[in-house]
Homo-oligomer: A and B are copies of this chain.
Amino acid sequence: MSSTIGDLGEFGLIARVTARFPETDDVILGPGDDGAIVSAVDRRVVASTDVLVEGRHFRLDWSRARDIGRKAVAQNAADIAAMGARTTALLIGLAAPTDLPVRWAEEFAEGVREECAEVGCTVVGGDTVSSPTLTVSVTALGSLDGSRPVLRSGARPGDRIAVTGPLGLSAAGLSLFESGRSDADAARAAVAEHRSPSPPYAQGPRAALAGATAMLDVSDGLTQDLGHIAEASGVRIDLRRDALVPAPELIAAVELLAASGHPSGGAGRPPREAAVDLMAVGGEDHALAAAFPPGAAPPEGWTVIGSVHEASGPEEARVTLDGRAPVRGGWDHFGR
């Protein structure tokens, strides 16, 4: 019986990992040849790539293989959604130690399959290689289906900023792992979101149709990511703190963190305030944030949290909270 991917060999592993994916209407040729062929109905393809590394983006003692498969799909499909597009197909590279159990690879593929079902896409290609460091690279392809793309550079003074999807929960989940409280009942929602985020995929194309002028997914933290919109659009974005309303699950997680002395618990500040801080700077939820012009109402499910203003000078803070520069935060993958 094969128990490690080294026993199974490269081609055996590819066969195991790619056998589980359905062919969709977007697939002209699936896995197994030198390349796959994917439909591009409006003569354009949207493409994005992300790399996840063990110890940096996930830990094997904190996340199951299935969660990691789901997360790898989710964060890429969120990028495609943030363009206003629909994810059609994925290509997945898996670099893994030869002693990785075959079962792990199969559960990873199962997670990929589950999240693909949520997204409405499938896997059309991949590569598996041996490496001392477990690494997952995903490229997502998407279709705008005739719509205009929503870039980061289109926000204009007078637009409103709105978000949809969870904020702060993934960061709270990470902190709960760090503080050893991940098994508590009140930790459940945050831990689940950290293990495998649930981006609001369908809201991307909906926002595009509603007239969004700029959009991105919140991967590094709301204020840091909105900074990219502000910079690309040459504007300032002001968020209203009272519009950031923490979910009850987030407040419960923050209370746990406060009780265990973790800094994300707020160091003595009221749990609601600490929760709002996590919403402002916590990354990896992959919520969508967008700008909507006057007269264009955000679709159902979006919450208006701020507004777009003229940038008065290059020195000015790009993103402010109630008119003041927020605490710097966010996630830089090489930062110290």
Report yes or no: B47 in contact with A139, Cβ–Cβ below 8 A: yes
The distance in angstroms between the C-alpha atoms of A79 and B127, with both chains bound, is 12
In the complex, the chain B residue whose C-beta lies closest to that of A38 is: B45
Also in contact, A333 and B40, with CB within 8 A (given A49-B137, A79-B35, A91-B48): no
User: Among residues 104 to 124 in chain A, which have CB atoms less than 8 Å away from a CB atom of chain B?
Assistant: 124
> Bound state CA distance, A151 and B32, in angstroms?
10
Check if A141 sits within 8 Å of B47, measured CB to CB.
yes
Cα distance A38–B125 in the bound complex, in angstroms: 19
Bitwise interface map of A from 31 to 70 toward B, beta carbon under 8 Å scored 1, else 0: 0111111111111111111111101110000000000000
Q: Tell which of A7-15, A177-185, A240-248, A259-267 binds the partner.
A: A7-15
With a 10 A CB-CB cut-off, give which of A9, A82, A132 has the most chain B CB atoms. Answer: A132
Query: What string of 1s and 0s marks CB contacts (under 8 Å) between A81-93 and chain B?
Result: 0110100010111
Flag A134-173 by CB within 8 Å of B: 1 or 0 each. Answer: 0101011110100001011100000000000000000000
- Known contacts A80-B35, A336-B6; A49/B139 CB under 8 A: yes
> In the bound complex, do residue B137 and residue A51 qualify as a contact, i.e. CB atoms below 8 Å apart?
yes
Do A141 and B45 form a contact, CB below 8 Å, given A53-B131, A131-B56? Answer: yes
Is A297 in the interface zone, CB < 8 Å from B? Answer: no
Which of B56, B127, B152 is in CB contact (< 8 Å) with A34? B152
Q: Closest B-chain residue to A87, C-beta based?
A: B35
Q: Which residue of B lies closest to A46 (CB)?
A: B35
CB distance B35 to A82 under 8 Å? yes
A9–B137 touching, CB < 8 Å: no
Q: Tell whether A49 pairs with B135 under 8 Å between CB atoms, given A8-B334, A334-B9.
A: no
List residues of A (201-255) whose CB comes within 8 Å of B's CBs: 215-217, 232
**What are 8 residue pairs bridging A and B, where the CB atoms are less than 8 Å apart in the complex?**
A34-B215, A35-B46, A35-B140, A36-B48, A41-B43, A47-B91, A49-B126, A56-B129
* Known pairs A10-B333, A34-B79, A132-B132 / 6 extra A-B pairs, C-beta < 8 Å: A10-B334, A33-B151, A37-B44, A40-B40, A40-B45, A51-B129
